[in-house]
Chains A and B, each alone.
Chain A
Amino acid sequence: MAGRGGVTEQEGNRAPRSERFLVCLGPSPFGAGLLKEARDMARVAGAELWAITVDVEGSRLDGLSRAARKTNVRLAERLGVRLFVRSGTDVARTVAAFARRNGVTRIVVGKSLDSPWKTLLRGTLTDRLIRLSGSIDVVALSRREGEAEPSLKGKGKSLGAYGCGAALALAATALGLPFSRVMAPTNVVMVYLAAVLVAAVFLGRGPSVLTAVLGVLAFDVFMVPPYYTLVVADSQYLVTFAGLLGVGFVVSGLASRAGERAQEARRKEEEALALYAFSRDLAAAAGREELLGVVTEHLFRLGWESTLILAGEDLRSQSGRPGHPRDIPAETVEDVLRHGRPRELENGQLCLPLEVQERRVGVLILHGSSGERPEGLRDAFVLQIAQSLERIVLDERARTAELAQAREKIQAALLDSVSHEIRTPLATITGVLSSLRRGDKAVVSDDIARSALIETAWTEAERLGDLVGNLLNMSRLEGGGFQLDRAPCDPSELVAHVLGRMGERLEGWTIETELPQETCLIDVDFPLLSLVLVNLLDNALKYGSVDVPVLIRGWSEGRDFLFSVADGGPGIPESFRERIFEKFFRLPTSAGGTGLGLTICRGIVEAHGGAIAAGPRSEGGTVMTMRLPEVIVP
């Protein structure tokens, strides 16, 4: 916990920021809502948010309040709100003094922080704060809808309830007195019984007993002759007293038990709701990581700090105070996983195994208990978690199977595509060579026919070489991407080299270039980028029309450099413009090829941190554009 010692140095010394809000947290379960609302308020105002909770000296907190305070403290820490604990005899004074000292600009309080009696006596906390805090704004937030009044009733048994009990007895006496003189006093007992009943239902057991006792006494003193003394003339009245008292006890017992049951029902409802919300979020969790988050978050909402560890993976999730990771002995986790028995550690941590189809898939560790939550709820949670895990495991299995199937398909397509692409040029080459080897007269004697044949074989051999190059690059791309060897180079030189390398392929084509007039250097991998341009230009020749010039452009935008290659072909339908970069994808109108070229281009451009896309050329055709970010050498 943010210890007091560590906090004092922050107080007063720090130069106040423009806005600092302070939210007062009482030992009440509304604190959570209040804290969140205050946080939102502070966020909107751009203010820093502090929280304070005041221990009132000489007062004791009951179990529920203690639990509530603990939850509030944890929540404050989770939300990153700096929390201060102060003690004093008067909440308002303590808060106001702290606020003034620390340059707080706004105090946020909840309306339900004070008891009705004190309110009557001294005004509400809000009123008093306004009075005491001078120029500091005080904002009172009302409780949000849906936050059920916690089961303080009947448990609080404050002095007020007893006062009410006494008052009821008094009222019954006042009501019964006029009648007691005209009818048999035993009939007036009914009025007292009514008072006891009211007290039992609304005030609880203790006050109703008080009402019964006081009622008996008042009845004796005021209505049983001789009046104004405890002495009883007619001893049969003793039976009446005993009856009244007995009925009072029984009724108060029954009523308060009904109250407890109602309270229990409320708690069960709350737990059922929590469980419902939990299973809903679990069902929505798509994978293990999401599941981990959901589990710890929901447990935390119910007051459990927890750690969830999934077996066989390095996945764990922890909820609790930030910056305070819990130590979990690895051996314990192993042990729980191996034997599947829950284990309680010396420090109060509870390790529960999660089982799916007899297989232990994880361990849930609860750090300390959650106050009053029953084991049943905990077990329900554990069961839910296990079931969700099972669902996810099955999902994953199904997906793996699907993936394997898809991969098989791709591999089949690859083999198909590659073997076809290799066989075609190979067939031509072997064909040409066999006719030369056999010494076919028609071939050997005719110079033109022979050189044409050899030329065909040569072209096919080059195509085969390109294919192998593509396959090699593809395996480089898949085996962890391209390792760039960047060096400054001139984009014009790059384009010139590419045109030189295309050589005879460009015969008959018009290639126009638009490049920066000024010398400009870009920091790229020259060989890889020239491969991209060769591929793009190759496509432009494959799909374009000889009559339309191919335009290669290079220009800078800020520190980015862009290249585009535009052809005058039929263009690419919009639905294919993204798919052409997919591995093995070929246009229906494809002129052959492996469907790898553009995939490699994209891989290279992305290795440079850039992007490449296909678009329509305004005068018809396709423009391939790549942007290389931050490559201009200053």
Chain B
Amino acid sequence: MSDGRKVLVVDDERAIRRFLDLALQAQGYEVILAASADEGLTRLVEIRPDLVILDLGLPDRDGREFIADLRSWSQVPVIVLSVKDREADKITALDAGANDYVTKPFGVGELLARMRALLRQIPPGGEEPHFRVGDLHVDLPRRRVLLAGEELSLTPTEYDILKTLIAYRGKVVTHGQLLQEVWSEAYRNERHLLQVNMSNLRRKIEPDPSRPRYLLTEPGVGYRLRDEE
């Protein structure tokens, strides 16, 4: 199912490396292991993997530096493994160029879902015209949003937010990224603007806003649009 895609795992914890090796191989990935940032960069150049799983707390180098270095010459998707409760670290990693993060401790299912979302990034033949998950259906060319077959009326801003989230479907989008893409760079810190629109959007597209199914909150970081059920 993963067609032998190559995944580079950079983590100094032996137990994590072993566990990921087994779990990812079982899913059909080809796994390359590295125990330090230096080793990781060497392997990156040699092997050119399709995806990188990177632990932020490496002994020889700061994870963010690693990402920035890597981003200067490669667009390979990066999933960051971070220790719980450090929202600021997650955001800086994402801003530095990481594509998503998974919090330790984590379940394999969660990691695999993130990997799938990232590897699906470039669908052959460009953008899909339709986004469907559960009862939610977005017809992008016609700018129509339907919930269980009924058309919803969204404001242009709400629609733009939804469209941006669809472009990053399954992946985390930080508050800053959303503000930048829907409004502009100058609005990067206008959180209340995003909040108000997000609340309204949630009320419209969620069947039960108190139990969101589609629009997931990543506390302190941003949002994620669920793309598989």
Contact = CB atoms under 8 A, between A and B. Distances in A.
A is bound by B: yes
Interface residues on chain A, size class: 20 to 34
B199 A492 contact: yes
A415 B213 CA distance: 41
B200 interface: yes
B217 A497 contact: yes
A469 B191 CA distance: 28
B210 A496 contact: yes
Interface string A481-502: 0000101111011011101100
A633 B192 CA distance: 8
Contact of B211 (A472, A488, A500, A519): A500
Nearest to B217: A497
A496 B191 contact: no
B219 interface: yes
Contacts of A493: 195, 198-199, 202, 217
A526 interface: yes
B217 A519 contact: no
B4 interface: no
A465 B210 contact: no
Contacts of A488: 191-192, 195
A496 B211 contact: yes
Interface residues of B, number: 23
* Most central of B192, B200, B210 by chain A CB within 10 Å: B210
B84 A521 contact: no
A499 B216 CA distance: 11
A530 interface: yes
A536 to B, nearest CB: 16
A363 to B, nearest CB: 49
B134 interface: no
B220 interface: yes
A527 interface: yes
A549 B84 CA distance: 31
Given A465-B105, A469-B84, A472-B85, A499 B200 contact: no
Interface centre among A461, A493, A526 (most CB of B within 10 A): A493
B209 interface: yes
A528 to B, nearest CB: 9
B210 A513 contact: yes
A527 B202 contact: no
Nearest to B206: A496
B87 interface: yes
B196 A500 contact: no
Interface string B181-216: 000000000011001101110110000011110001
A485 B91 CA distance: 13
A561 to B, nearest CB: 14
Nearest to A501: B219
B88 interface: yes
Contacts of A465: 105
A562 interface: no
A496 B198 contact: no
A515 interface: yes
Interface string B15-54: 0000000000000000000000000000000000000000
Interface in B83-117: 84-85, 87-88, 105
A525 B209 CA distance: 21
A456 to B, nearest CB: 16
Contacts of A525: 220
Given A465-B105, A469-B84, A469-B85, A527 B219 contact: yes
Contact of B212 (A473, A496, A513, A526): A496
Contacts of B212: 496-497, 500
B220 A495 contact: no
A499 B143 CA distance: 31
B85 A519 contact: no
B194 to A, nearest CB: 9
Contacts of A513: 210
A485 B220 contact: yes
Most buried by B among A465, A469, A515, A519: A519
A531 to B, nearest CB: 9
B183 to A, nearest CB: 15
Contacts of B209: 492, 496
Contacts of B85: 469, 472-473, 527
Given A493-B199, A497-B219, A485 B88 contact: yes
Contacts of A469: 84-85
Q: Which of A490, A500, A526, A530 has the most CB of B within 10 A?
A: A490
B210 A519 contact: no
6 contacts: A487-B191, A496-B209, A496-B217, A497-B217, A519-B196, A519-B199
Interface of A: 461, 465, 469, 472-473, 485, 487-490, 492-493, 495-497, 499-500, 513, 515, 519, 521, 525-527, 530, 633
A-B pairs with lowest CB-CB distance, top 3: A488-B192, A527-B219, A490-B199
Given A487-B191, A488-B192, A499-B210, 11 more contacts: A473-B85, A493-B217, A496-B202, A497-B212, A500-B211, A513-B210, A521-B192, A521-B196, A521-B199, A526-B220, A530-B219
